[in-house]
Structure 1
């Protein structure tokens, strides 16, 4: 399929999300739409998919003008879309989700067997390994995404729109998706790949069109350098590395001893784990997703019952409520901002005080101080460059990266004794990553102990003063940021530090607690 967008403009009242956007996707081509969070990429694709009507401009499919009044019109033209936030019914099976909207029937009953057969055929063709009878809520995120792709392919989509498809995937799942995209391309499917991740874009795209603040700023080949692409996205030179001075460790602040978490099914999720974090350092936790990182953070925050000891400046946190932990000076950025960090229906201004509503700055007796909340929002929006039409806009209307900025702005807007950030830059563009990393390092330099949990090894190496490696809920060791990736990878797979090096000593290791070397 050949797709052309000519002069597409989309306005929301006086705000223009897209301005005179033109691009062409050739048959069997992977065409990347690259841009910052809030640049207008998803809005443009929602126009193409019939979710929005363009204010002006036209869409051509195989040279013929078309008009879409809804997604069904786009599907009829062979255009399918996989949204960043999946459009699946969690309690339905894979087959039931795929059948929705195009139900085959045998008399008065649904013909799910035909749907199952189609799912198996597509799954076998592309190596998806998707069970038609599996319940969606029981599937990993990467498999749920494959269900969305199957939904489009069952409807004979000749062009797929993938909207930030790697934002919620692990590195392994990302590599698998890129392989699937190449196979789809080889079979003649055209793909519009919306992203802001430079490595993935350069690895899989045939053409890259960069959009900034709703306008096309140019199209380049994947041979363009990452620095060139970053500058086109942001409109300025962007540092792709983290500039920070060596850590100035003061004293131990957080001490975790013999921390154990047992799940409801009796399985040990954290096994007798001990570590410490000092003022003025960043401890990054590395590990393949699902090896106890989530449980560790939840135990710190009081979200999960645990045994052992967690002391912050000598104050015991085990057994404390979440409210008490936050009041003790813990700032927290959860890995799933949509479910745990924001209330989507609340305004940007309200979300910026979501865990501060008891503060006397924002409340007087039973009433909220609306003017103070609005003034705080104006300040934070400017300070953290949150792209929103208005402080009163619902948080759910913002791009993923700008939602992340809301959470980080809120958590860093009060004095902290510990800052915990889980996947702090997941789904965030390169310019925002630079900004968030700078704020995290600034917090460290202000003497706050910082814990970062990230599946992105580049981020771990960039931010960490020390790296704690988790495997099956156990601490395999704490090493320095100059540890070779091969060694770190072996530790993430279950090797001890000595086993990973093949020796009993390690020149790149650091003490379990940084103050040991000062003693």
Structure 2
């Protein structure tokens, strides 16, 4: 694939300017750049979602023009988005054939083709598995299989390792090598520079909408790549000084949550017509799987407690229980000495809980609303958003301008929609919003997922500064360097239980990643000792 002079303008901004990239067949070509550098716009152009104002695209020497993703797919281009596009309530087979029913039908022929592709590239995909039962690494493999099923010869992978632990990253890279060996071409977009050097054959760097250079992964370093990307050194999450006090801010005791169809408060308080019905419901709930299993933890003022775990092992349920979105079946939660176990979400927020959600698009922002309205979310009843119980848009707008300025949210103004911002700037807006209410306790779920090294450093600094002032933080992250670097205390979560703890000063990402698969319990020792490996299932998933 050859791109020459690609330029794309939007009102008030030039997203891409004279971009030139040559991608060799059968290679992994990494594309790196900070948030807002123009990577997403370029990928949308390659995938037919947008047309360039200037420039040409050639595939196998033939110039092409795409008016839709369908055109790109017809020319052998497939894209795996950072936010997966799967229907949870459908099987793998149904997700793969959806929209491509004319290719191989929806029955035995489609199933055979899926198995052939899965076996050929070592994807280990099970056609009849429900997507909602799959872990994040398996979902990613389904997304890759979807584009291969449609005949893709060029794969665009957008931040493919953002939610994977080291073992899963290694498995993905094995898959990419299989694809490369079969002659397929991969365009790999990532902010994790160490991984880029590990997997890429060629590297192109984009800054402020244009290509600023290329790098050879055999000789380049992460420091050199960071300087090319943002003009500065690679930031480190490392926190040297301790600010942990002996004052408990959050105490969780024996928290247990059973799997059931009900969350939060009951829909009705009316007595059942049949008294035995209550007993039946209780029996069904009691027989449910434990999503949280006797979880107990304490976070002190000035302390960051990090929780490591493969996604789907209870982290989301723990967050929802702490926020009041789910009513636990047993156990208690206290904040700053007050029992908040029965308080609704609003009272918990007003009581001092800040929340950086794991999925900014689904739980953190109204994408089609302007920035100043997004500043109000979650804090409707609090100053400066409201005055004596009535919304105060003027004050909210003024404070949004302050957040944009102090947190370096790069935007033309506060009236643009959240969807118009790059991922890193969306995240900085959320962090600024939550920190603006001086929380006592912050839930930070993947706070730097999918953001560049510059935005990453700003978010880390904001959390560290608040920690110095006494903030208690629950940090949940798939970035193990971030977990180890920021945390004062580390716990490992597996199948709804806190199964191990480690000293961030001595533990390595590899040791922590191994413990996350259930390979080790109790106190993890750092240094050269490695936790023993557990026996994994056939598909390599130790969840």
Instruction: Report the TM-score when normalising by structure 1.
Output: 0.89
Shift of 1:464: 1.3
1:139 aligns with 2:134: yes
Provide the residue aligned with 1:497 in structure 2: 522
Shift of 1:445: 0.3
The farther-off stretch of 49-58 and 167-176 is 167-176
CA contact (8 A) 1:170 1:289 kept: no
1:37 counterpart SS class = coil
Provide the residue aligned with 1:508 in structure 2: none
1:104 counterpart SS class = helix
Provide the residue aligned with 1:314 in structure 2: 337
1:335 counterpart SS class = coil
1:178 counterpart SS class = helix
Equivalent of 1:460 in 483, 496, 502: 483
Unaligned segments of structure 2, at least 5 residues: 261-284, 527-543
Shift of 1:331: 0.6
Provide the residue aligned with 1:53 in structure 2: 51
Query: Cα deviation per residue 1:47-93 (whole Å; 9 max; x = unaligned)?
Result: 11111010111111122221111122222222222222233444444
Provide the residue aligned with 2:188 in structure 1: 193
The farther-off stretch of 406-415 and 263-272 is 263-272
The farther-off stretch of 169-178 and 74-83 is 169-178
5 Å matches for 1:157-168?
157-168=152-163
Supply the distance in 1 between the matched residues of 2:165 and 2:522 (Cα, whole angstroms).
24
Provide the residue aligned with 2:27 in structure 1: 29
Provide the residue aligned with 1:437 in structure 2: 460
Query: Cα 1:256–1:439, aligned 2, differ >3 Å: closer, same or farther?
Result: same
Cα RMSD (Å) of the superposition? Answer: 2.4
Provide the residue aligned with 1:512 in structure 2: none
Supply the distance in 2 between the matched residues of 1:341 and 1:111 (Cα, whole angstroms).
37
Shift of 1:365: 6.6
Unaligned segments of structure 1, at least 5 residues: 502-519
5 Å matches for 1:101-500?
101-104=99-102, 110=105, 112-222=107-217, 223-249=219-245, 251-264=247-260, 265=285, 266-306=288-328, 307-364=330-387, 368-485=391-508, 488=512, 492=516, 493=518, 495-497=520-522
The farther-off stretch of 253-262 and 186-195 is 253-262
Provide the residue aligned with 2:532 in structure 1: none
Shift of 1:216: 1.0
CA contact (8 A) 2:5 2:18 kept: yes
Q: How many equivalent pairs are there?
A: 496
Supply the distance in 1 between the matched residues of 2:502 and 2:169 (Cα, whole angstroms).
27
The farther-off stretch of 363-372 and 278-287 is 363-372
2:243 counterpart SS class = coil
Equivalent of 1:10 in 5, 8, 19: 8
Provide the residue aligned with 2:69 in structure 1: 71
Query: Cα 1:365–1:71, aligned 2, differ >3 Å: closer, same or farther?
Result: same
Supply the distance in 1 between the matched residues of 2:124 and 2:312 (Cα, whole angstroms).
20
Supply the distance in 2 between the matched residues of 1:65 and 1:400 (Cα, whole angstroms).
31
The farther-off stretch of 170-179 and 197-206 is 170-179
Supply the distance in 2 between the matched residues of 1:262 and 1:134 (Cα, whole angstroms).
22
The farther-off stretch of 123-132 and 15-24 is 123-132
Query: Cα deviation per residue 1:106-140 (whole Å; 9 max; x = unaligned)?
Result: 9xxx5533222211110111122223344444433
CA contact (8 A) 1:32 1:193 kept: yes
The farther-off stretch of 313-322 and 70-79 is 70-79
The farther-off stretch of 225-234 and 287-296 is 287-296
CA contact (8 A) 1:263 1:269 kept: yes
Shift of 1:33: 0.6
